[in-house]
Amino acid sequence: MEARFKWLLDFGMALGCGFALIGLAGTVVLLSIAQPVEWCPKDGCSIQSWVGVISGSLATIFALITVVVAMQALRVQRKGSEAQLRAYMIVDRAEFDTSSDTIEIAFKNCGSTPAINLEIVLDLDLMSERDAHLVAPVTNMFKLGVVGPDKFQTLDWIAVTSKRRADLLAMHAGTTHLCVGGWIDYGDIFGTRHRLTVHTALTSDGTTFRKKLDIVRQAYKQL
């Protein structure tokens, strides 16, 4: 699928450039037929001959400029098409289930084409500052295949609070925070890889933990 979409875009650009080059060639041929370029005729130079030479040269220059502008416009159009069609992974849901004592994070592809070759590196840890950066070890990597448009990929952590009974009072008091953070790398069908960096935090009302985790950060960059 990746090769097919890229081939269609390359074909459109090549077709546009081809038409532009045909137009340039046609202009040059017509100018050559209408008036051969001679910098100075045998019987001496005249204003008319110089005007003709300059007009022909300017026509060729303008034709070249037209080709350059057309190629640049096609590049911009291709980038715009890629931006509209490519995959976009976001954090759609981050929730804590009290009945099962689990945290579940769901990633969604809200783009128009599949996200491919996913690499998810996330970790869960206790932190004194909820906004601090959680460095997830690469050993926590989950390698996945394809997430189609409007499809989800979920990860969960079990026994979240039961493993941390000694820290529950501090977590409810807000002096210690349970955070899940890391990043997800994925490719699009145009051969570009992207990274979504996420950081979430479990919050408490004082005695009970809220169902929805706070999404502290969610940032994108192209790799």
172-205 pLDDT tens trace: 999 999 999 999 999 999 999 999 999 999 999 9
pTM (2 d.p.)? 0.67
In angstroms, the first-to-last Cα distance of the chain is 21
Q: Give the Cα-Cα-Cα angle 196, 199, 202 (nearest 5 degrees).
A: 145
Query: What CA–CA distance (Å, rounded) separates 60 from 42?
Result: 24
Quickly name the fold that domain 89-222 has. Answer: Immunoglobulin-like (2.60.40)
Among residues 88, 92, 79, the alpha carbon closest in space to that of 114 is found at: 88
Domains in the chain: boundaries: 2-85, 89-222
- At 2 the pLDDT is 47
- Phi then psi dihedrals of residue 9, to 5 deg: -65, -45
* pLDDT (average), residues 57-69: 69
